[in-house]
Chain A
Amino acid sequence: MALKLANVTKSFEAHKVIDNVDIEVGDDEFLVLLGPSGCGKSTILRMIAGLETLTSGEIHLAGNRVDRLPPSERDMAFVFQSYALYPHMTVRRNIAFPLIMRRHRWWFHLPVIGGLAKRRIERSPEVREKVERTAEMLALTKMLDRYPRTLSGGQRQRVALGRAMVRQPSAFLMDEPLSNLDAKLRTAMRAEITQLHQRVGGTFVYVTHDQIEAMTMGTRIALLRDGTLQQFGTPREIYETPANTYVARFIGTPPMNLIAAEVADGALKVGAVDLPLPAGSVHPASGKVWLGLRPGAMRLTAPGTPGALAGTVSLVEHIGAESVIGVALDGVNTAHDDDGGLTREVMVTLPGYADTRAGAAVGVAFDLAAFSLFDRESGARVGGDAARG
């Protein structure tokens, strides 16, 4: 059930909300649309669903062009952030609703007669069996005859999933479905949805602003910002070879450090330290770059260690399994945003309980085994270690 978005653009008046987005995923993939609020990820999802129109571009599902079909004919199901359950219907009727609608006739609008007709469909063996099987998969069997308002948040979420599953659609679209749940339930539901995907198959498109959800659930991630696609790839690609400084800083906690550096004569000059670029690594011939290093790729040394950057500990956070240490470097700039603002701080994560405190003079050492290089001006990726390029 391959899903393909080609040159999808949406504008309101002169303003482009979605600018020329291309995404293509194969059968049974779990696509995550990731980005901060307002980046256009929900708009793309709603365009796939048919709740919004495209200004230009095309959407294909399983080889068929769907962007001009009404939502109900696209063979997709949608799970809303607020669940959007019908509060005046039982769980059973909520789940059965799409099936009833499939056999809807105009005279179902008549009072009484329509109600009886709908009840007959709901009670027909076929619909009944489908609803009950769905409920069983989601552990909702005992709640079938209750109303949504009597259910907990997680149960409501499962009813919403059930309503989507019962249609056996080619694609499941989900708009931040977990954001109304508390942290613990969110983790549980995350696993549940992943399992659901493995069990029922079909293309999943999942919108979130949460990078953990994206990394754990997605087989593909499309990272968006201001309506433009920043990077599209597997979670691993996005994490290891971010396409630009924005992606680099968006994924990972703490995010990737961006340290001002310069390439000259096959070596990387960072502050007072000169490091030879390893053979096989990709890099520009010369010029100013951002050196991208994950916090785990760095370590603390005694002050004055050769090859290490000198600095002072500015922050110590013990999380348990690891410690996050902030170090203010001496005379070396770092970037936290791509808005041009500079600081000196880098983040280093160390396993276990690191015995240091704020104010201590330290050295920050790293080797160029896993790194990325970004153009200082544009922020685009210009190189990295041999494995990542």
Chain B
Amino acid sequence: MMTRPAQSQPQAADQAAAPDRSRWTAAVFVAPVVLYLLAFQFYPLAQQFYLSLTDTSLLNPSRQTFVGLENYRDILSDPEFHQALRVTVVYTLVCVAGSILLGLGAALLLDRPFRGRGIARALVTIPWAAPPVAAALIFVWLYNAQYGLVSRASQALGLSAGGFNWLDEPSFALPAILVTTLWQIFPFSAVVILAALQGVPSELREAAVIDGADRLSVFKAVVWPTIRPTVALLALLITVWSLRRFDVIWIMTQGGPLGETNTLVIDLYRRAFVYLDLGRAAAVGIVGLAVAVLVTLVYFWASRRAEAASGRR
């Protein structure tokens, strides 16, 4: 009991009944949420893991055989799964890079003082406030082969012939979905970066200007180092969210055409509810989760190294 580290909180206690009481308080405070998550997150997750080791079919879920790692072997040699991995990587990378670049640009625009800045900052968040299903619906309409505005515009400009169905073209479907996604999520990046920009010390910025730095140098020397940790965390959040995004993609293409928009999450859903193959679907899900966990661990490892390198904390 005496080996706990120094702390200044009132519950810092190494004598008498106090520490036990504090532990009980903590247990009581935390128990409901722990039980809840066990019931609705981790028990299902465990079940999913077990499913991935069986040949369960949605047609007859009660009849299942334990097949060990066979599902994993199957999907790892399945070209459809390879494609899903590739699509997921492309989708995620573009989401991260695109939303951060757009968000950074928007944030820098909205950081400068101008008349109506408050309103502009609010309006720019509209896409993020719109429900994803509604966003998907709008863009499906915008991409409509005959009457969609995108098709009409590209036709008017002579870029495509009439009746070009964007969401049905293997090389255009993923970009079309990426545009929709980026439109939805870039405001989040913008808002977060904008908040981080408030932390840039103005004296430092002014000092750099007095030292004769041009705008880009000020950005590189003063602004970027301040917001970098925030941007890194943002990148992690967007990565994790992109890896699990379902609604927009499912509604727009259901993973098609020819699997060109088939991310891991879509693949998992298709295998479960279209192919009725719960075992392999679960295996896909577990692999996807492993990827997300891995990315997160790498992030924390890298940010700790960066922190150590820059000598902070």
Contacts and interface: CB of A to CB of B under 8 A. Distances in A.
Q: Do A and B bind each other?
A: yes
Interface of A: 11-13, 15, 46, 51-56, 68, 71
Question: 8 closest A-B pairs (Cβ-Cβ)?
Answer: A12-B6, A51-B10, A53-B13, A53-B15, A68-B16, A53-B18, A54-B15, A55-B14
Interface in B1-33: 2-3, 5-6, 10, 12-18
B15 A13 contact: no
A12 B5 contact: yes
Interface string B107-142: 000000000000000000000000000000000000
Nearest to A57: B15
Contacts of B17: 68
Contacts of A53: 12-16, 18
Interface of B: 2-3, 5-6, 10, 12-18
A119 to B, nearest CB: 28
A153 to B, nearest CB: 24
A13 B6 contact: yes
Contacts of B15: 53-56
A13 B3 contact: yes
A161 B119 CA distance: 45
Nearest to A70: B18
Contact of A52 (B2, B3, B5, B10): B10
A137 B276 CA distance: 79
Most B CB within 10 A of own CB, among A11, A13, A46, A55: A13
A13 B16 CA distance: 16
Contacts of B16: 53, 68
Nearest to A67: B16
A12 B7 CA distance: 9
Contacts of A46: 10
A245 B248 CA distance: 77
Nearest to A14: B2
26 contacts: A11-B2, A12-B5, A12-B6, A13-B2, A13-B3, A13-B5, A13-B6, A15-B6, A46-B10, A51-B10, A52-B10, A52-B12, A53-B12, A53-B13, A53-B14, A53-B15, A53-B16, A53-B18, A54-B15, A55-B2, A55-B14, A55-B15, A56-B15, A68-B16, A68-B17, A71-B10
Contacts of B13: 53
Most B CB within 10 A of own CB, among A15, A52, A55, A71: A52
Nearest to B7: A12
A159 B13 CA distance: 30
A162 to B, nearest CB: 23
Contacts of A15: 6
Nearest to A49: B10
A12 B9 CA distance: 13
B22 to A, nearest CB: 11
A5 to B, nearest CB: 15
Nearest to A56: B15
Contacts of B3: 13
Nearest to B13: A53
Contacts of A13: 2-3, 5-6
B299 to A, nearest CB: 33
A68 B18 CA distance: 9
Given A13-B3, A53-B13, A55-B2, 16 more contacts: A11-B2, A12-B6, A46-B10, A51-B10, A52-B10, A52-B12, A53-B14, A53-B15, A53-B16, A53-B18, A54-B15, A55-B14, A55-B15, A56-B15, A68-B16, A68-B17
Nearest to A46: B10
Contacts of A12: 5-6
Contacts of A54: 15
Contacts of B6: 12-13, 15
